[in-house]
Amino acid sequence: MLNLYRASQMIFPGEKILNDAKSFSHTFLTEKQSTNELLDRWIITKDLGGEVKYALDVPWYASLPRLETRYYLEQYGGEDDVWIAKTLYRMGNISNNKYLEMAKLDYNHCQAIHQREWSHIQKWFAHPNIEESLKTRLLWSYYEAAASIFEPERCIERFAWLKTTVLIGIITSFFTTKSCFTNADIRAFVDEFINPRNHKNDRKPRHMVMGVLHDTLNDISSEVLAAHGVDIHPHLHNAWMMWLLNWRKGEDVVGEAELIVQTIYMSSGHCLSKESLSHPQYQSISSLTNDICHKLFHKDDNHTLWSEVDSKMQELVELVFNDSLNNLDPSLKEMFLIVVKAFYYRAYFDAETISHHISKVLFDNVI
């Protein structure tokens, strides 16, 4: 029943039978959990209750890979798991202490790399006048990146995700604080970004933010060029220009998630051509992504909102996992889903829960 519930969360629009299975299995597991009857007639396992609790507490849309791994390392019983048939027996190729030992070593090794990265990030962002709330958001942003793209060799992508998120937050904060930026300042900022030769190095907030933006894009581009031999700077500049132009138009600005996706994708050594950006699948996926993430960012915790978001998530999942002729790069489609799940995660959980997850994933060793 637990596996049915897990599988049913990867639902496509219109799959009524699977939706019914999801409702039934969720109700069944919730009732068994409330009466402490979480037993399996076929296996004696270490922490079935913990597996069920995680599945019920963390929907698949909000389940970040490293968070799920961290919890499962505590739930996996190794060779102590016993299967039940006419006799009791163990399945060494499934439940094995060597697997558990190697998984713990691998997790702690990867976690140590993430901790070193976090120390480096704090130095990069060190400033005595930075608000504590912004420092907290910095940690949250790095956690989301590291919990989603955790492989040690993908540090450039993690840093690109983090830096893009931070810059978006800073610019949005400035643009929406009229004491810092007037509408004229916003237009001048965007024009200056489009024409870098007009940039001035003085202490005005607009020029200071512009300097940080240019330096960061140059840093990301240089790292990608050194690692992959690809110059992404023109494409990266264009991606930011398209997002900033929405501010100059005075529209209800969306597209933060798409900008993050584009930056991560390019940081892996890919260039986003005009053909890719105009691809029908790209247009559909990016539109859904921007809509979902905009709703999640401005959520008001009503049932209608979550119902709408979950419906659109079904559409997104179908677009990401369905293959077709002239298909968009699967890694790009997957990156959209990864980023959307991070937005969903932050909207779904409260600050206390996120802080607990951060400690568990980034700082608490697996023993």
pLDDT confidence of residue 87 = 66
Lowest mean per-residue pLDDT among 103-117, 175-189, 219-233, 351-365: 175-189
Please state, rounded to an integer, the average pLDDT across all residues of the chain. Answer: 90
Pull the structure tokens for residue 51.
């597996």
pLDDT confidence of residue 203 = 67
Percentage of the residues of the chain whose pLDDT score is greater than 70: 91
> Is residue 132 scored above 70 in pLDDT?
no
User: Per-residue pLDDT averaged across 65-74, rounded?
Assistant: 96
What does CATH list as the number for 97-363?
Answer: 1.10.600.10
Cα–Cα–Cα angle for 130, 257, 312, rounded to 5 degrees: 135
When pLDDT is cut at 50, 70 and 90, the band that residue 284 belongs to is very high
Do residues 21 and 8 make contact, with C-beta atoms less than 8 angstroms apart? yes
pLDDT confidence of residue 280 = 93
> Is residue 231 scored above 90 in pLDDT?
yes
pLDDT confidence of residue 251 = 62
pLDDT confidence of residue 45 = 81
Q: How many CB atoms lie within 10 A of CB 139?
A: 17
When pLDDT is cut at 50, 70 and 90, the band that residue 129 belongs to is very low
pLDDT confidence of residue 67 = 98
pLDDT confidence of residue 202 = 66
Range among 12-16, 204-208, 246-250 with highest mean pLDDT value: 12-16
When pLDDT is cut at 50, 70 and 90, the band that residue 258 belongs to is very high
CA pair distance 138, 151, nearest whole angstrom? 20
pLDDT confidence of residue 86 = 63
> Is residue 337 scored above 80 in pLDDT?
yes
When pLDDT is cut at 50, 70 and 90, the band that residue 301 belongs to is low
Q: In terms of pLDDT, which residue wins out, 326 or 332?
A: 332
pLDDT confidence of residue 137 = 83
Q: In terms of pLDDT, which residue wins out, 179 or 5?
A: 5
Confirm whether pTM is higher than 0.75. yes
Lowest mean per-residue pLDDT among 89-103, 172-186, 278-292, 321-335: 172-186
The closest alpha carbon to 246, from 178, 197, 294, 309, belongs to 294
pLDDT confidence of residue 157 = 98
> Is residue 185 scored above 80 in pLDDT?
yes
pLDDT confidence of residue 128 = 44
> Is residue 362 scored above 50 in pLDDT?
yes
User: Per-residue pLDDT averaged across 205-231, rounded?
Assistant: 91
Q: In terms of pLDDT, which residue wins out, 6 or 204?
A: 6
pLDDT confidence of residue 44 = 77
- Domain ranges in the chain are 97-363
